[in-house]
Amino acid sequence: MTSNNSHFVAPIDETPLQATDAVKTDQAPLSLWADAWRKLRRRPLFIISSLLILALIVIALFPGLFTSTPPNDGCELGNSEGGPTAGHPFGFTFQGCDIYSRVIHGTQASLSVGILSVLCVLVIGVTLGALAGYYGGWVDAVLARLGDIFFALPLILGALVITQLPLFRENKSVWTVVFVISLLAWPQMARITRGAVIEVRNADFVTAAQALGVSKFKALVRHVLPNALAPIIVLATLELGVFIVAEATLSFLGIGLPQSIMSWGNDIAGAQASIRTRPEILLFPAAALSITVLSFIMLGDAVRDALDPKSRQR
Amino acid sequence: MRFTRTSKALGIVAIAALALTGCGAGGGTTEGSSDATGDPNKVITAYSNEPQNPLLPANTNEVYGGRVVELLFEGLRTYDADGKPVNALAESIDSSDAQNWTIKVKQGQKFTNGEAITAKTFVDSWNFAANSKNLQNNGFFFESIAGYEEVSAVNSEKTADGKTKTTPAPTAETMSGLAATDDSTITVKLAQPEADWSLRLGYSAFFPLPSAALADPKTFGENPVGNGPYKFEKEGAWVHDQSIALVKNADYSGPRESKNGGVTFKFYTDPGPAYTDLQSDNLDITDVLPSNALKTYETDFQDRNATKAVATNSTLNIPPYNPNFQGEAGKLRREALSYAINREEIAKVVFNGTRTPAKAFVPPVIDGFKEDLKGSEILKFDAAKAKDLWEQANKIQPYDDSKPLQIASNTDGGNKEWIDAVANGFKNNLGIQAEIQPFAKFAEVLNLRKSQQLPGLTRAGWQGDYPSLYNFLGPVWGTNASSNYEKYTNPEFDKLLKEGLAATSTEDANAKFNQAQEVLFEDLPGLPLWDQARPIVWSNNVVKAETGWNGSILYYNITAK
Amino acid sequence: MVRFILRRLLQVIPVFIGTTLLVYYMVFALPGDPIAALFGDRQPPQAVIDTLRSQYHLDEPFIVQYGLFLKNLFTFNLGNDFTGQPIAASLARVFPVTAMLAVEALAIQAIFGVAFGVFAGLRRGGWFDSTVLVASLVVIAVPTFVLGFVFQLVFGVQLGWAKPTVGANADWGSLLLPAVVLGLVSFAYVLRLTRASVSENMNADYVRTATAKGLSRPRVVLAHILRNSLIPVVTYLGANLGGLMGGAIVTEGIFNVPGVGNKLYQAVLRTEGPTIVSIVSVLVLVFVVSNLLVDLLYAWLDPRIRYDQ
């Protein structure tokens, strides 16, 4: 029997899946970050949050573009708690300073405190937490217990002592506050990182990578950490806001930024004097703070999605 | 009673919270619905905080222990609501030369444990308090009595690290000038004549103590037994960090008889929650308002508040060791600073009228107060004059503006608001940078002041111990006086004070003291800021309440519903 | 497992020494004479100050002071605070109150944070997700001293739903309002941590497998997604328990809670070394135990995690 009805084989150039299935062996695989970037720039969440943050940075760098009212001079007690008037759209603080101008000029210090503290906490906390969780054993014992020591320090005691150091006593600046916050807040970040790393370190893909000859440390950086990023990002974005508010608490206790440095924290602490009479004075710095935190939460969300290896292009 | 650390943290708010509608002694009291006699058995709950020391009158020098001690004990005299001394256990107090005093003690008086109170009780109590080895905080109140030097003597030695250590080393057990000639007579010889000496006999340091207190002061101080209008509800009525429960002493008969059944002091570390508790009738009375309630207490507690001038003032001290404020230029600058403070406006806006602009270095409620002393015109706000004087000074010697002019203060207790306002006044009117130098701890400010290291100015305040002009001048501005931390010194001032003390009549004494104030106005070691009035508010359970001369609530006078 | 726990408990010793040494040194380094500060504007006779100073060993060098503290500790005698009250007695008063407050706050943030976080994570970008995002922003941007004040005024005074302050005789009911305020800030953390984990794990292979096996949706969510999402949440809650036990200074102040935070704050303001270090000593134990519990929970939540190596 001659077989004239052979198996149908589709011509190879007909299927559109070809492009998808092709393994481009001549091309290096996209790096994690390049891949993330490609995904990021198409996400509306990322675009909106980046624009907001960009705007905040411009305000922080060039407050003079947005208001010509000096924030700290010409406060007249006669204007105390006054409502909005021409040229003063938000009204006046307890001391009769222009609220709008203070909020604009406060951006720089507050944003610096928030971002710098978060960066410090990230660097210290993620490094130590990742090493502790990944290597375990005595490394974990030493690093985790070191964290415990700092965790047990009462905030106000730490802050009081640090601001008394000769380095900071004479010129308190944004860095003083950043130092206090970072020193006392890194153990939290370290613990979260450690927990997330412990969760990931036994995953199959880590074992596989090491079996393929990837060094133990490289496996931590390339495979474990990217998979442990979600809680770190959540913590970092929320802490940005919490740190800015923490500066308010420090100012309130008299160990924060000096009066001459405008900050939302200083304003929030100052608005306490009006809380029974004109609570809305508090709203303006608090709203600025909320917008900032919201932008960073949205950005964090978008970055996390883009970095999530589970949804990565292969 | 002076500001202790606690009163800095909390009490100062009260002090920060003073209102004055009229000036002059006893003026400007608003009262709630009156006439009702109230329920004499009801127990009142009142705002307070943990006392710092065992409750011994001669050891208690802070407000929260002081208010309990004053209810538990009765002395030879007591002060009425206007600060006038009236005899209590004393039948008479006489002196012909202001140096030798004879005090007749009422007979038949007893402590609540049944022990009789005689002249000897007082002599023993005072010798106990003055003796340096008993470490009583108020021991120096007896310094005028002959023989105080011996019983209060101390021994100072250098320690290995070069510091001095002072230890008690009395050379006598009793003061030579103090004696009980019989059961009802005390004779007192002072080291030098003092016309107003008897004024201070109502202060708690002079209260009598039962023999148990002298034997074991610490145990006694936990469960004190007194002779005042109230007594401890029971053994252990002081629950630490929580409350002290007092009930009426039915055996008491004196000028301060209680109109209610008792007072329970509830402890708060912050006046805010106490205010909230009052709004919901969980607390009956407070004399300490949160600073942000100064504008609302009159509406929150309509017909349930009273505000009365008290013997407490505030100053802004200028350390003599600050080079910017020395010499001819310094004098002009001190005046310029004073002219640049708008006391009227700050009293109105920041304190909502609970303070009145200062008119002198003593508050007007003190007997002998005089307005318009020579030099007191610098207390009036005058921006142009301030600017002018400042520029004149700069022509003599340039102002070192490398650092902003800082005003040191602890930040608790509502000080920040007025200091910010004063600093803004300096900025706007003098064209210099000025700001608060904030401290979380009162101890740090005190440390800077005691060690003469203030970079700028500092706030200071004084609450009268007893109603006398001298009490506002001597301890604060006298050379090497106990609270003269900035070390102001002027021999002329010291001389006038001494002459005032030695004067045989109160009028002569006050004239000297007022002359001494004119020296202060000339030197301006501090700028008088304002005098204080104290607002109190009460719950729906209280019919009526009022404060005394020094701002403490007259608890025995509270009538309850 | 027993060896692991024992080893961890032994690690308390270096942590304890490290922390107490550090804290004691910090107190020692604070400027200002604590005894002089007790008295304020008018000082008592110098003999009183000096006698008190030597009574509290404040005139000794730092290392002697610390040694005395350790010696006292091992003889179960914490000494007296600067008002002459035994420290042990005041710790016995404040810690139970703060423990109740911490447990209550922790329960509130755990229950609501996890529940809301799961819903938000399952429907990311939905209206529920957006609403809780805004709500958590409010909690973060408004400082506790304002939030506590508003809650106290609205729920305590105006509506009368809860006792506005705590005061003496704290019980679960009177602690409810401060517990809610305390729990709210951490609630934002718990919520967002849960949400992130849940949305990450939703697409995991085992979830697809479980769904394919025909398991009901609630069972998939509870037994698979949630359990695997809890590690960061548990870590956070464990750390937070420690923080809560350290006392919330602001919240305890607003609601007049006679707890650790209030005591600690007063002690720091007074530079009262012995009280501060005694409190911190107890806290160290709490931290180490809560960390241990968290690590044990890891192994229970994720069987791949093993400690007996």
Return residues 247-266 of A near C (CB < 8 Å): 248-249, 252
Cβ distance of A241 and C305 shorter than 8 Å: no
- Indicate the residue of B295, B420, B440 with minimum beta-carbon distance to A255: B440
pLDDT for the residue numbered B241: 84
Chain B hits for C83, Cβ within 8 Å: 50-53
Chain A CA closest to residue B424? A75
Residue A275 lies in a domain: yes
pLDDT for the residue numbered B301: 92
Of B155-164, B499-508, C85-94, C209-218, the one with minimum mean pLDDT is: B155-164
Per-residue pLDDT of chain A (314 residues; tens, 9 = 90+): 455 556 666 555 555 555 555 555 555 556 667 777 887 787 788 888 899 999 999 998 988 888 777 777 778 888 888 888 877 888 888 888 888 888 898 899 999 999 999 999 999 999 999 999 888 888 888 888 888 888 877 777 788 778 777 677 667 788 888 988 898 889 889 988 998 898 888 888 888 888 888 888 888 888 888 888 888 988 888 888 888 888 877 877 777 787 778 888 888 888 888 888 888 888 888 888 888 888 888 888 788 777 766 654 43
Work out the average pLDDT over B408-432: 87
Work out the average pLDDT over B292-311: 89
How many structural domains compose chain A?
1
Query: How many A/B residue pairs have CB atoms within 8 Å?
Result: 65
| pLDDT top residue among B519 and B13 | B519
pLDDT for the residue numbered B30: 38
Q: pLDDT band at residue B490, thresholds of 50, 70 and 90?
A: very high
Q: Could you tell me the residue range of the domain that residue A204 belongs to? A: 107-307
Instruction: Decide if pLDDT at B491 tops 90.
Output: yes
Residue A138 lies in a domain: yes
The answer to whether B486 touches B493, Cβ cutoff 8 Å, is no
Instruction: Decide if pLDDT at B5 tops 50.
Output: no
The answer to whether B244 touches B48, Cβ cutoff 8 Å, is yes
Chain A hits for C298, Cβ within 8 Å: 195, 198-199
Instruction: Decide if pLDDT at C34 tops 90.
Output: no
pLDDT for the residue numbered B104: 94
Tens digits of residue pLDDT in B275-285: 989 988 989 99
Q: pLDDT band at residue B207, thresholds of 50, 70 and 90?
A: very high
Tens digits of residue pLDDT in C45-75: 777 888 888 888 887 888 888 888 888 888 8
Compute the residue count for chain A: 314
Whole-Å CA distances, B44 to A309, B39, B259, B294, B457: 68, 11, 11, 24, 42
pLDDT for the residue numbered A223: 83
Q: pLDDT band at residue B521, thresholds of 50, 70 and 90?
A: very high
A302 touches chain C (CB under 8 A): no
A230 touches chain C (CB under 8 A): yes
Q: Specify the amino acid at residue B90.
A: A
Give chain A's radius of gyration (CA, Å): 26
Cβ distance of B483 and C254 shorter than 8 Å: no
User: Rounded to whole angstroms, how far apart are CA atoms C81 and C71?
Assistant: 16
The DSSP line for A205-263 is: HHHHHHHTT--HHHHIIIIIHHHTHHHHHHHHHHHHHHHHHHHHHHHHTT-SS-TTS--
C13 touches chain A (CB under 8 A): no
pLDDT for the residue numbered B407: 92
Q: How far is A79 from chain B (nearest CA, A)?
A: 10
C50 touches chain B (CB under 8 A): yes
pLDDT for the residue numbered C41: 62
The contact set of A with B (CB < 8 A) is 73-78, 80, 94-96, 156, 160, 252-255, 258-260, 270, 272-277
Residue A97 lies in a domain: no
The answer to whether B32 touches B303, Cβ cutoff 8 Å, is yes
Residue A67 lies in a domain: no
Of A14-23, B24-33, B93-102, B125-134, the one with minimum mean pLDDT is: B24-33
Contacts of B402 (CB under 8 A, 6+ apart): none
The answer to whether A244 touches A185, Cβ cutoff 8 Å, is no
Residue spans per domain, chain C? 90-198+232-269
Of A289-298, B14-23, C115-124, the one with minimum mean pLDDT is: B14-23
Tens digits of residue pLDDT in B443-477: 778 888 888 889 999 999 888 877 889 989 988 99
* Enclosing H/E stretch for A266: helix A264-271
Please state the pTM of the whole predicted model. Answer: 0.83
Residue A87 lies in a domain: no
Pick the closest to residue B51 from B65, B70, B30, B68 (CA basis): B65
Work out the average pLDDT over B142-164: 84
Contacts of C79 (CB under 8 A, 6+ apart): C72, C86, C87, C274
Residue A19 lies in a domain: no
Cβ distance of A245 and C288 shorter than 8 Å: no
- Indicate the residue of C14, C203, C235 with minimum beta-carbon distance to A145: C14
Chain C CA closest to residue B241? C258
Of A193-207, B68-82, C197-211, the one with minimum mean pLDDT is: C197-211
C48 touches chain B (CB under 8 A): yes
Chain A hits for C7, Cβ within 8 Å: 141
pLDDT for the residue numbered B15: 30
Instruction: Decide if pLDDT at C204 tops 80.
Output: no
Residue A77 lies in a domain: no
What's the CATH code of the domain at A287? 1.10.3720.10
Residue A34 lies in a domain: no
Q: How far is A52 from chain C (nearest CA, A)?
A: 16
Cβ distance of B404 and A260 shorter than 8 Å: yes
The answer to whether B16 touches B529, Cβ cutoff 8 Å, is no
Q: How far is C82 from chain B (nearest CA, A)?
A: 8
User: Rounded to whole angstroms, how far apart are CA atoms B436 and B442?
Assistant: 14
Chain C CA closest to residue A245? C143
Most confident of A126-135, C8-17, C76-85: A126-135
